Amino acid sequence: MNHNYPVFTVANECQDCCKCVRHCPSKAIRVVDGRASVMPELCVACGLCVKICPAGAKRIRDDLSRANYLLNEKERVFLSLAPSWKSYFKGLKCEQLVSAVKKLGFAGVSETALGAELVSAVSGQILNRNNPGLYISSACPAAVDFIRKYLPECTAAITPVLSPLLTHAKMLRQHYGDDIGVVFAGPCAAKKQEADRYPELANVALTFEDIEHWFIRERVFPHRERGKARFVPYSAVEGRVYPLEGGMIETLRERDRDDSKYFITVTGLSNIERTLSCAVSDYNDMQAWLVKAVV
């Protein structure tokens, strides 16, 4: 097993059913010594194998120890919270979740959606240059990795914009100082890969499950919180719809009603490969296409 990579196999729990091998969209799992092992050089950390493994042998790396170390090392650490927290922490108000997270030692909680709003603004500026062709959003790190590894002919079309996470981390450092720590919390294993690559912006990435385990371990009960803590430095608006299918596109349409631009959301790595492989030449003949590709 390789615990240094965000997705790995617990060898003694793998039952050699090969379900993950059959379903991996990037063919990044090989049977080694009778166990289905993740090949980091091929993997894009989409996390599909974790979802479908019937034995629970595929795991996402637990980075709670790294987050705790950061809290002990830095005077102020902020949590960048993905907007999809609403669907994981059901029934919680933002004030309750923020109060609970602060009890873990964080100086504040900020919405990753603020970074998403900046990404939309910059992406809109790129499209407004009116250069025809294909543009692929850089918002999803797993999709971007997949395109770079398996559709290299489309790599040049990826917009030169940091992802919402990295944009938000950069924004927080500009606002509070570069000496702060930034921890991300969201649903995606690929964000751990992103934090590994850009530690100067995002120090650690956790899953929502990590945060839930942390609450349990520290005996913090979010549903009992009665505090009035708010997101810092301010609340997001349209960036909160990013997790929804077509969410980014809606933010762009709100900013720009130009009918000469075309937008598509493509979900799933297999669909991304099919769409971009078959249609890239057609896109180049049109005015301006922006594709948001997500796993």
Overall CATH class of domain 7-60: alpha beta
In 3D, which of 70, 97, 68, 103 has the Cα closest to residue 231? 97
Q: Which residue has the higher pLDDT, 99 or 292?
A: 99
Q: What radius of gyration do the chain's Cα atoms show? A: 20
Check: CATH 3.90.1010.20 for 64-115+162-240?
A: no
Query: Which of the 8 DSSP states describes residue 268?
Result: S
- How confident is the model at residue 275, as a pLDDT? 86
Residue 185 amino acid letter: A
Main-chain phi, psi angles of 55, to 5 degrees: -95, -5
Q: What digits encode the pLDDT tens for the residues 196-250?
A: 999 999 999 999 999 999 999 999 999 999 988 999 999 988 877 777 666 676 7
Query: Which of the 8 DSSP states describes residue 111?
Result: E
Main-chain phi, psi angles of 290, to 5 degrees: -120, 125
Residue 71 amino acid letter: L
- How confident is the model at residue 280, as a pLDDT? 60
- How confident is the model at residue 279, as a pLDDT? 59
- How confident is the model at residue 260, as a pLDDT? 54
Residue 281: is its pLDDT beyond 70?
no
Main-chain phi, psi angles of 185, to 5 degrees: -135, 125
Provide DSSP, 162-226: --HHHHHHHHHHHHH-TTSEEEEEES-THHHHHHHH-TTT--EEEEHHHHHHHHHHTT--GGG--
For the segment 250-278, the average pLDDT, to the nearest whole number, is 75
Q: Which residue has the higher pLDDT, 283 or 57?
A: 57
Residue 115: both structure tokens together? 């970074």
Domain ranges of the chain: 7-60, 64-115+162-240, 124-160+243-294
Distance of CA 148 to the CA centre of its chain: 17
Q: How far apart are CA 67 and CA 59, in angstroms?
A: 18
Distance of CA 122 to the CA centre of its chain: 19
Tell me what the pLDDT averaged over the chain comes to.
89
Lowest mean pLDDT among 21-30, 95-104, 244-253: 244-253
Q: What digits encode the pLDDT tens for the residues 123-165?
A: 888 888 767 778 889 999 999 999 999 999 899 989 999 999 9
For CA atoms 259, 130, 241, 228, the dihedral sign is: negative
- How confident is the model at residue 13, as a pLDDT? 93
* Alpha helix stretches (DSSP H) within the chain: 19-23, 48-52, 64-73, 85-88, 94-103, 113-127, 141-150, 164-176, 190-197, 208-217, 247-255, 269-284
